[in-house]
Structure 1
Amino acid sequence: MKKNSILYISMVLTGLMLFSTACEDEELNPYVEPLPGVHAFGQFAADSPTNFIIEQTGEDLNINLQWISVDRELEVEKIDVFVLFNESYRDVDNNPLVAEHGGDEGIFYTTIEGGELPANRENTTISISQEDVLNLYNGTTYDYDEDGTAEDVFDNDFKPSRSNDAPFISGDNFSIRWVLYTTDGLVFDSWSPSVCTELPGANCSVDWILECGQVIKEPAQDYTITFNDSYGDGWNGAAISVIVDGEATEYTLADGSTGTEVVTVPEGTTSLSFEFISGDYDSEVSYSIVTEKGNSIAAGGPSPSVGAITLDLCVENE
C-alpha cells in the first residue's frame, strides 16, 4: 500500500524551529492538521509576472503572503522578508558552480507589521523589481576563480553581458523567505522540509528566475522531457501537456521512478508551449525539458506549479 506523509509538527522553543515526522495511509486520512505553530504561504498575485524579464528592470513582481496560525492560539505580530540572489557560473576549469550571494538567509528587504500586517490567513502583497534587488546587492563581491581576489558581481570578466540595462542575466535566480514573530515572543525562522514542500497552503519561499520572454525562436526541433517520481509508482494522473499551434498532447510517466519522452515538433510550427497538469501526488513529481540544442529550458518539482510552464530561453534564443 502506498504511503505518503502526514505531518506532526512539534515546536522546539530553544531552537525556535519546527520539526516533523511523517506517516500516512492515504486511503484512511490524506491530511492531519499539525500541532500548534505558525507558518506562511506565498504565491504570485494573479495579475503579476512570475519572473524577471531581461532589461525590464523597473517592473514589479507582486507576491501575496499570508501567515497561518494552525490552531489560532499563536498570533503573528511581525514578518521580516529577506531576498536571496544566486548566480550560476563556470569556474576556470569550466565546472558549473553557483554563487550564493546572500548565503542561506539572504539580505533583509522589508518588515510587515502594525497596520500593514493582515489577520490570520489573509494576504498582504510584497512588490519587488530588479532595481530593488540590485539596490540590495549592489557592491557585492565574489571570488569566482578562487585565487583570493573577490570581484564586483556586476562588473567582472566572468559575466561580461551584465550591463546597466541588464544587471541580471540568464542563470540568475531569486527567492524571498520570511521570519515570523509572534505576540508572545516566539520566532519562527525555519521549518521542516515537509512543511516547505508537502503541507497544503504552506511553503518556505517564493522562487523565480530571469527570463528572456516565452517565445521560442526555433520551435521545430526535438524536446526531451524527463519524468521523475520519488515514490517510484509513476505520476498518478499528473502530466505535461505540449501545445503545438493550439493542439495539446499529454505525456506522463505511467509507472516507475523515471522515464523520458522525446517530443518532435514539426517544421512550420508557429507557437509552442508547455503546461503541467496536476495529479494525485504532485509532491512526488519532478521534471525537466531539454531542447535539441542541449539547453535545459524548464524544470519543476516536487509539487510543480500547475498550469503554464515558464521557460528559460535566454541561452536557447541566442
Structure 2
Amino acid sequence: MKKILSLSIIASLLFAFSACRDESLNPLPGWDPGVHAFTVFDGINFNGNILARPQPYEVANAKNFPKASQNDAKVDLKTRWVSLDNKLTVNKIEIYVRMLESYNDPDGNPKVADLSENGKGKLITTITTPAANRKWNTFSITAQQVYDAYKNASVAYDKVNKVNVFNNPARPRPAGAWFRPAETTGYGSVGADSFVVTWVLTTSDGQVFNTWNPDSICADPTPVSEANSNCQLTFTVR
C-alpha cells in the first residue's frame, strides 16, 4: 500500500511540474514546416533497385550539351517539390545555373572560374505553376539560354586584365560551339565547361527556400521514394 501511495505522489508531482512549466523558457526552438526538392535528368530510367542511390537519373553528367550544333542543344530535366508534413505549398520554382570554366593561369596552375561571380548562378527559367506536392514538373535548359545569361561574362586569365569569355582568342568559342569540352591545345590541358543546376522554392505564404543542410537533404542516401531530395545537379560538354 505504501508503495502504491508513493508512486501516486510521484506521479502527482510530475504532473504538477509539467503543468506549471513555462514553454517560453524552453531553450530548444520548435520545428517550423519546410519544403525541399528533387531534380533529376528526364528520360533516364530507374534501375530497378530501390536501395541503390544514386540512381542513373541523378548522377552528374548523365546528360550533357554536345560539342557542336549547340544552337539547338538542350538538357531535359524534371523536378518535384516535397512537403513532408503537407503544411506548405510551393507556388514558384526558380531554376538557376552556375557556369564554371577551367583555365590555366600564367604560371600554369589549373584554375576554375565561376562565371556567375556570386556562387548562386543565373536565373535560367521559372516554373510559375508547379504541380502538386511530389508531382513532377518537366523543363529544359537550352544552350542558348545559358549563353544568353553568360555572354557578357569576363575573366582575368592573366590575373590583371579581364577578357570576355566568349571573345577570348586564346580559347575560341564560335557560334554554335559556345561551350567547350575538355581540351589539350596551345593553351594547355583544361577541363570541360561545367554547369551546376540549383533551385529556389517559394511557398504560397511568401517563404523562400534556397539553402538546405548539405549533410542531410543535399546528400540524401535513403532508398528510392517520393520523399527523396537533392540540392544540385551537374552536367558538362561531351
- Is TM (by shorter chain) over 0.5? yes
Q: Flag structure 1 segments of 5+ consecutive residues without an equivalent.
A: 1-33, 212-318
Pairs within 5 Å for 1:159-198 = 159-160=171-172, 162-170=173-181, 171-193=192-214, 194-198=216-220
1:23 equivalent in structure 2: none
2:92 alignment partner, one of 67, 78, 85: 78
Aligned to 1:40, which of 28, 33, 37? 37
Mapping of 1:8-47 within 5 angstroms?
Answer: 36-46=33-43
The answer to whether the Cα contact below 8 Å between 1:81 and 1:109 also exists between their aligned partners in 2 is yes
Match of 1:62 in 2: 76
RMSD: 1.9
Instruction: Quote how far apart the aligned CAs of 1:199 are.
Output: 5.0
CA shift, 1:35, in A, is 7.5
Unmatched segments (≥5 aa) in structure 2: 1-30, 45-56, 182-191, 223-227
Change (3 A) 1:188 1:199: farther
C-alpha displacement of 1:158: 3.6
2:155 corresponds to which residue? 142
Q: CA–CA distance in 1 between the matches of 2:96 and 2:162?
A: 24
**Identity across matched positions, percent:** 36
What TM-score, normalized to structure 2?
Answer: 0.69
**Partner residue in 1 for 2:64:** 51
TM-score (norm 1): 0.52
Q: Deviations over 1:253-300 (max 9, x none)?
A: xxxxxxxxxxxxxxxxxxxxxxxxxxxxxxxxxxxxxxxxxxxxxxxx
Equivalent residue letter for 1:189: N
The AA in structure 2 aligned to 1:163 is P
Q: CA deviation at 1:150?
A: 1.0
Secondary structure of the 1:154 match is helix
Question: 1:166 is aligned with what amino acid?
Answer: A
Contact 1:35 1:70 in 2 (8 A): no
Aligned length: 174
Flag the structure with larger Rg: 2
Match of residue 231 from structure 2 = 204
Equivalent pair of 1:67/1:76 in contact (CA under 8 Å): yes
Structure holding more helix per residue: 2
Deviation at 1:198, TM superposition (A): 2.3
Determine the C-alpha separation between the residues in 2 that align with 1:63 and 1:81.
11
**Larger proportion of strand:** 1
Map Cα deviations across residues 212-266 of structure 1 (whole Å, 9 max, x no partner).
xxxxxxxxxxxxxxxxxxxxxxxxxxxxxxxxxxxxxxxxxxxxxxxxxxxxxxx
- Distance (whole Å) between structure 1 residues aligned to residue 221 and residue 139 of structure 2: 22
Q: How does 1:1-318 map to 2 (within 5 A)?
A: 36-46=33-43, 50-57=63-70, 58-102=72-116, 103-114=118-129, 117-147=130-160, 149-160=161-172, 162-170=173-181, 171-193=192-214, 194-198=216-220, 200=222, 201-211=228-238
Higher relative contact order (CA 8 A, sep 6+): 2
